[in-house]
Amino acid sequence: MSNDSTQQIRTFKDAVALITGGASGIGAALAKDLVRRGATVILADRQFEAAQELANPLGDKAQAVTLDVRDADQFADVIRTARDRHGRIDYFFNNAGIGIGGPVEAHGLDDWRYTIDVNILGVVYGVHAMLPIMREQGFGHIVNTASMAGQVPCPGLTAYATTKHAVVGLTR
């Protein structure tokens, strides 16, 4: 392999990336790094104000949009709008997620439903809406964020670990 700079692979420079859960945590760190590397990022989060606060100092390479990943129709609209605005989506970081901890007997069915809706169905909705676009483009990458909790048992994180096991299974 040559060290000649003309042989470098373009990975993020001039790429378009959509990041769910982009207002905080892994999504925010990823957005900052991608912009630093020359990518345009769309920060999709249900906490629009926090996403906008992050996007502002990143300049014209970052845009905040509202997205609740539990809403399949809204998810599809955000993806279509991003593709239409930018002409393509090179990277989709399916990153939004929530966690609840504590003894499993302390989690009610509403806790389980909320965790499943965000951590499993939110990922499914993203893949479902993005995959046809990437196939049509003929390129693109989908990165689903899971957790070590999706690989190994995690006492005190039963609902979270259950959903992250599902994300690992979907991704594999």
Is residue 43 a contact partner of residue 17, using CB atoms and an 8 Å limit?
no
The span from the CA of 99 to the CA of 158, in Å, is 10
Give the number of C-alpha atoms closer than 13 A to the C-alpha of residue 168, restricted to the C-beta side.
13
Residues in the chain, total? 172
Out of 91, 114, 125, 160, the active site residue is 160
Concerning whether 91 is annotated as a catalytic residue, the answer is no
Provide the annotated active-site residues: 160
